[in-house]
Amino acid sequence: MTSLATLTNRQFRLAARPVGVVKDSDWQQTEETLRELTEGEIIVQVLYLSLDPAMRGWMNEGKSYIRPVAIGEVMRAGGIGIVIASRSSKFVVGDTLSGLLGVQSYWIGAADDRMASFYKVDGKAMPLPKYLNALGMPGMTAYFGLLEVGMPKAGETVVVSGAAGAVGQTVGQVAKQKGCRVVGIAGGQEKCDFVVKELGFDACIDYKNGSVHEGLKTHCPNGVDVYFDNVGGEILDAVLTRINMKARIVICGAISQYNNTTPVKGPANYLSLLVNRARMEGIVVFDYADRYHKAVTEMAGWMRAGSFQSREDIVQGLENFPAALQMLFSGKNFGKLVLQVAQE
């Protein structure tokens, strides 16, 4: 076995709280030699990291559903890795794990670390990046957010923004499985073509090249029953003008607002909720952790049957982390954004 002292752990730490768009100077790159394990500990070599819009929020100070990343701390990130050393009975060398690994090349600590929350995944059953997409956190968000908060019924119209992204692509496909009419909103013709032609959405509105309001009029002739909101801002406002009686709006995220240097802009058209006796409700994926296995089983079944897809956009190299993260905010990612840190 390789001596741990010969392995260098490269890390990205939070150097400063960003103001607006994250700058290179908000990161500090560090290198450490791996230490020896104590009883109950493991070392996980990071293979893939999940790059998520939420990471931008974790860099801010203030109360949220999870504590902020501290200045000087390794940046938090979910990922998949392989156990390369173990002094724990929980995991053995060679196990492939999913959990909060951080933006670094190796994770070291207690196998039962609560923050890391490791669980085993089977790379033979599915390609590993799928466990960061439809079979991971974004997929769970889409599945439970849509079904439990959106509560779509067959024949209803479901609209989803960020449609070609990690959460959006699963929302649309689950809604199709439930017999809904599905209209996506995405940036650019290529993404719109993908969700319609590859994923089976009924229509898609290209918000970068036309009016969302007009697109909704054309593609949602019977109004909107469920809106799954990933972006907030003006698109949320536009959808509010087209909702039906008793519509359900799932507040999943507001990526259009995450880099604001002014307070988040709320919807001007919120009185549409009153007129239509409609409701908006937030979703935090972790609330459904005890039922993830149900969603994974169902969606993996659809995947194996060929009636469900998940697309990943994989960027190579830990050193490209800062630039890759920015792709989420310019729409350069096409599918779930994953950073490959090491070869499998």
Binding site for ligand NAP (CB under 6 A): 52-54, 137-138, 141, 162, 164-168, 186-188, 191, 230-231, 252-256, 283-285, 328-329, 331, 333, 336-337
How near is the Cβ of 318 to ligand NAP at its closest, in Å?
20
Comparison of 26 and 52: residue with beta carbon closer to ligand NAP = 52
How near is the Cβ of 115 to ligand NAP at its closest, in Å?
17
Query: Apex CA 142: angle with CA 129 and CA 252, to 5°?
Result: 115
Comparison of 108 and 337: residue with beta carbon closer to ligand NAP = 337
Residue 327, both tokens: 């792709």
Closest to 56 measured CA to CA, from 43, 45, 66, 46: 66
Pairwise CA distance, residues 19 & 201, whole Å: 37
Comparison of 180 and 186: residue with beta carbon closer to ligand NAP = 186
How near is the Cβ of 84 to ligand NAP at its closest, in Å?
28
The DSSP secondary structure of 216-244, one letter per residue, reads: HHHH-TT-EEEEEESS-HHHHHHHHTTEE
Give Cα 200 distance to the centre of its chain. Answer: 21
The SS3 call for residue 104 is strand
Residue 249, both tokens: 């709006």
How near is the Cβ of 165 to ligand NAP at its closest, in Å?
2
Decide if 232 contacts 257 (C-beta within 8 A). yes
Residue 257, both tokens: 């607002």
How near is the Cβ of 254 to ligand NAP at its closest, in Å?
6
Q: E strands, the chain, where?
A: 8-14, 27-33, 41-50, 78-86, 96-100, 106-110, 119-120, 157-161, 181-186, 203-206, 224-229, 243-251, 279-282, 312-316, 336-340
Comparison of 162 and 215: residue with beta carbon closer to ligand NAP = 162
How near is the Cβ of 211 to ligand NAP at its closest, in Å?
14
Strands 41-50 and 78-86 come out as: antiparallel
Comparison of 138 and 150: residue with beta carbon closer to ligand NAP = 138
Comparison of 42 and 54: residue with beta carbon closer to ligand NAP = 54
Q: Is the dihedral angle over the CA atoms 325, 329, 333, 335 positive or is it negative?
A: positive
How near is the Cβ of 339 to ligand NAP at its closest, in Å?
13
Comparison of 47 and 166: residue with beta carbon closer to ligand NAP = 166
Comparison of 21 and 271: residue with beta carbon closer to ligand NAP = 21
Decide if 29 contacts 17 (C-beta within 8 A). no
Comparison of 108 and 285: residue with beta carbon closer to ligand NAP = 285
Pairwise CA distance, residues 34 & 51, whole Å: 24
CB atoms closer than 10 angstroms to residue 114:
7
How near is the Cβ of 51 to ligand NAP at its closest, in Å?
8
How near is the Cβ of 53 to ligand NAP at its closest, in Å?
4
